[in-house]
Amino acid sequence: MKRELLVVFVATVALYLPTARYGFVQDDRGIIVANPAAHSVGAALAAFDEPYWPSGSGAGLYRPVTILSYALDWTISGGRPGWFHFMNALWHGLAAALVVVVIARWLPPVAAAGAGLIFAWHPVHVEAVANVVGRAELLAAVGILGAVALARRGRWVVAVACAAFAMLSKEHGVIAGVVILLDKWLQASDDRPYPVPFWMALAVVTLGYLAAWFAVGWVGENDEAVAFYGTGLWGRLAIALPAVLHAAGLLLWPASLSSDYGPQVLPMRSAMSLAALLGLWVAVLVPALVFWCRRRAPAIAFAAGLATLSYLPTANIFSRGAQSLLARRAAGGARGLDHDDACRPAGRPARCRRCRPPRHGLWRPLVRASARLAGQSITGAHPVARSSGIVSRACLRRRGPRRNR
C-alpha cells in the first residue's frame, strides 16, 4: 500500500509542478500580496479574529488557518509566488493520497490508487490548485479526509483536530463530522462503535466554529446572494437547480471549464426550465445512489455522499443564506445595485446584516487576546499589520473581491 500511496502522491505533484512558474493572479493579490496578515506568522495569529477578506471589502468569511498557511509560505519564500504554487501541489498530493487511504477500505490497492489518480488529475481541480487562493479547498479536503482516516484508527483527539483544521480552512469543513458519520454508516454492522465522547467533541467543535463564523466571518455579508433577492421558493430553485446540473456535467465531461463562472457561462433563469428539471433529477439521483450502493459498492456510496455533502453548503436549494459558488458568480453582473438606498430608506435603521454594525459578543475579544498573545510570543508585534486597512482599500479600489472564494 505504501508504494501505491507514493505513486499517487508523486504523480499528483508532478502534474502541477509547472504551476511553480506562475505568478499571483486574481484574488491572490487581494488575499495574499496586499494583505499584511499573510506576510508573517505573528501577523496571521494576531489576525485570527479577523475576516478572511479585508473589512473594507464587505465580504467577510472566516478562514484563519488558510491565512496562517500563506504567512508560513511568505516567511519561507520571501513572497515568491512559485513557492506558494509548489505548496499547493504538495497539499493536493496529500489530499489525493488520503483519498487512496479512505477508499482502500473497499477496494484493492491498485484500484484505490486508480481512484486517487482520477481525483488528482481531474480537470475540475485545476482552479483549486493552480490559483493560490484555492489553498482553502485543498486544506479543507485534507482535514476532512484525514479526520475520517484517523477516526477509523481510533485516534479520536487527532481526528477532532483534523475536523477543526478543515473548518478553519474553509466553510465546507463544517461537514467533517457528518462525513465521519457517513463513513461509519458504510462500515460493517459488527464494527465497534465510535465512543460517545468523540461524537460530543465533534459537535462541540462544530458549534464553536459556527459561533466563530457568525461572530467574525459574517461581517459585511448579506443574508443571501444577489441573485436571490425578491425570489420565492420556485424562483430560487429556477436559479439553483441549473447550477447543480452544470456542476454534475463538469464532473462527467469537463470540456468547458472557466476561471470565472459569470452570466456568459452560467445564465440566470427566472423560470423553471429543462436545465432546472435535469438538475432536480441529479439532486435526487445522487443521494439515492448513496443508499442503493451502501452494500453493493460502498466506495461509490462514499464518493456520492461526500459530493452531496460538499455541495449542500453552497447549493442555495434549501436556504437563501447559503453562499452559492456558481450562482454568486452568475450574479456578478448585477452587483451594481445601490444596496444602501434599498436598505436605508428615509434614514431609517439598516434592515440587513450587511449594513448593521456587527455584534461579536465575547467571542471576538477572547480570540483576539489569545491569538495576539501567541503571535507576540513567537515573532513579536508586526507593525505592518496596522496598515492593512490602507493597503486593502487601495487594492479593492482596483478590483473587487470574488466573494465566493
Is the model's pLDDT at 229 over the cut of 80? no
Distance of alpha carbon 234 from alpha carbon 268, whole angstroms: 14
Which has the closest alpha carbon to 130: 23, 214, 43? 23
pLDDT for the residue 333: 34
- Cell digits of residue 206: 462544530
Is the model's pLDDT at 234 over the cut of 70? yes
Please report, as a single letter, which amino acid is at residue 345. Answer: P
Dihedrals phi, psi of 161, to nearest 5 degrees: -65, -40
pLDDT for the residue 379: 34
Lowest mean pLDDT among 94-108, 277-291, 346-360, 368-382: 368-382
Is the model's pLDDT at 235 over the cut of 80? no
pLDDT for the residue 106: 94
Average pLDDT over residues 29-53: 89
Give yes or no for a contact between 140 and 98, defined as CB atoms under 8 angstroms apart: no
pLDDT for the residue 155: 95
Give yes or no for a contact between 86 and 92, defined as CB atoms under 8 angstroms apart: no
Handedness of CA 135, 138, 141, 144 (dihedral sign): negative
Is the model's pLDDT at 345 over the cut of 80? no
Distance of alpha carbon 57 from alpha carbon 392, whole angstroms: 8
The DSSP symbol for 331 reads T
Is the model's pLDDT at 128 over the cut of 50? yes
Surface-to-core class of residue 278, CB atoms within 10 Å of its CB (0-12 exposed, 13-18 middle, 19+ buried): middle
Surface-to-core class of residue 284, CB atoms within 10 Å of its CB (0-12 exposed, 13-18 middle, 19+ buried): exposed
- CB neighbours of 289 closer than 8 A, spacing ≥ 6? 300, 301, 304
Mean per-residue pLDDT over the chain, rounded: 78
Distance of alpha carbon 125 from alpha carbon 137, whole angstroms: 10
pLDDT for the residue 55: 67
CA 107 and chain centroid, separation: 28
pTM for the full predicted model: 0.77
Distance of alpha carbon 276 from alpha carbon 402, whole angstroms: 25
pLDDT for the residue 317: 62
Q: pLDDT (tens digit, 9 = 90+) per residue, 55-88?
A: 666 677 899 999 999 999 999 999 899 999 999 9
Neighbours of 140 (CB within 10 A): 28
- Cell digits of residue 233: 421558493
pLDDT for the residue 276: 86
Locate the domains of the chain by residue range: 1-223+365-405, 226-330
pLDDT for the residue 306: 93
Dihedrals phi, psi of 400, to nearest 5 degrees: -75, 160
pLDDT for the residue 149: 96
* CA-to-CA separations, 260 to 91, 130, 234, 330, in angstroms, rounded: 23, 14, 26, 9
Distance of alpha carbon 184 from alpha carbon 175, whole angstroms: 14
Average pLDDT over residues 153-160: 96
pLDDT for the residue 254: 86
Which one has a higher pLDDT value, 54 or 291? 291
What is the rounded (10 degree) CA torsion for 116, 279, 179, 360?
Answer: 120
Q: pLDDT (tens digit, 9 = 90+) per residue, 353-397?
A: 444 444 444 444 444 444 443 343 333 333 222 233 333 333 333
Q: 341 falls in which pLDDT band (50, 70, 90)?
A: very low
Dihedrals phi, psi of 362, to nearest 5 degrees: -90, -15
pLDDT for the residue 393: 34
Q: What's the count of helices (H) and strands (E) in the chain, helices before strands?
A: 18, 0
- CB neighbours of 192 closer than 8 A, spacing ≥ 6? none
